[in-house]
Amino acid sequence: MIGADMKLYSGMINEIKNREVKLFRDRKRKRLYNKDFTILASDCNGTFMYHDMGLPFLSPTINLTIGMNDFVKMLENLEWYMQQDIVELKGEYKYPTGNLGGGIKINFVHYESFDEGVSKWKQRKERINWDNLFIVGSEKDGCTYETIQRFERLPYENKVILTHVDYPEFKSAYYIKGFEDRDEMGTTINYKKQFFKRRYLDDFDYVTFLNHGVMRGKR
């Protein structure tokens, strides 16, 4: 009976957690009024923001990753790169991988094939809202202090780079606690070890960012 009781109790706790996190995300959706935006992200953070808000993907950078140095390089000449082809890279890669414009490596981490990834890229880049751009980077995948400096200089009003330590000298840097013992930002879409279900990404108020282009609670 003890085992059965524990299983029942565990099930009840999980149900409470699942209902609470659904309410948490429903409240976020109600707060969002800017809904016709493009998020260009170096990793899956942008994908999860769209998913949380229940919005269509108006961005080619969905379900893929781009190293931060390549991401910044692409953003420095974005319109040109959006006109370039992606060539498949052959070799010992974990995922379908391509080269955009001869200089940007794209990892199609959540696609079954290179052709599927490129097809979605082409389809979604046509949806870019050039008048409502939001840039989201992460301090990992080769990101250095110099990379953050270049990111800071990018000519986009609404941009943020999530960092594993505080960089008060950079207006666009937002410190996410929990990765200080690492050399770079960890996986922010992972859940934290606490009772209510919250991801590290939830520490960043991206609804306010998307509504106003500001970072509430920036340290």
* Rounded CA separation 37/41 (Å): 13
Residue 110, domain member (yes or no)? yes
Is 11 a member of any domain? no
153 inside domain: yes
What residues make up the domain containing 197?
32-212
The domain tally of the chain equals: 1
pLDDT at 217: 52
Q: Would 15 be classed as within a structural domain?
A: no
The confidence score (pLDDT) of residue 216 equals 56
Give a yes or no: residue 4 inside a domain: no
| Contact (CB, 8 A) for 16 and 106 | no
In a domain, 66, yes or no: yes
Q: In this predicted structure, what is the pLDDT of residue 86?
A: 98
pLDDT tens for the chain, 219 residues long, are 456 656 666 778 888 888 988 898 999 999 999 999 999 999 999 999 999 999 999 999 999 999 999 999 999 999 999 999 999 999 889 999 999 999 999 999 999 999 999 999 999 999 999 999 999 999 999 999 999 999 999 999 999 999 999 999 999 999 999 999 999 999 999 999 888 889 999 999 999 999 998 665 554
> From CA 102, how far away is CA 202, in angstroms rounded?
35
103 Cβ contact partners less than 8 Å away, ≥ 6 residues apart: 70, 73
Phi, psi of 189 (to 5 degrees): -90, 0
Q: Determine contact, residues 104/85, Cβ cutoff 8 Å.
A: no
179 HSE (CA, 13 A, CB side): 24
- 18 domain residue, yes or no: no
**Residue ranges of E strands in the chain:** 38-41, 86-88, 97-100, 104-107, 133-138, 159-163, 173-175
Kindly list the distances between the CA atom of residue 86 and the CA atoms of 41, 47, 81, 129, in Å, as whole numbers in the listed order: 18, 20, 10, 21
Amino acid 1: pLDDT? 47
Whole-number Å distance between alpha carbons of 160 and 206: 10
**Distance (Å, whole) CA 12 – CA 16:** 6
| 108 close to 98: Cβ distance less than 8 angstroms | yes
The reply to whether 14 falls in a domain is no
What does the alpha-carbon distance between residue 87 and residue 208 come to, in Å, rounded to a whole number?
Answer: 37
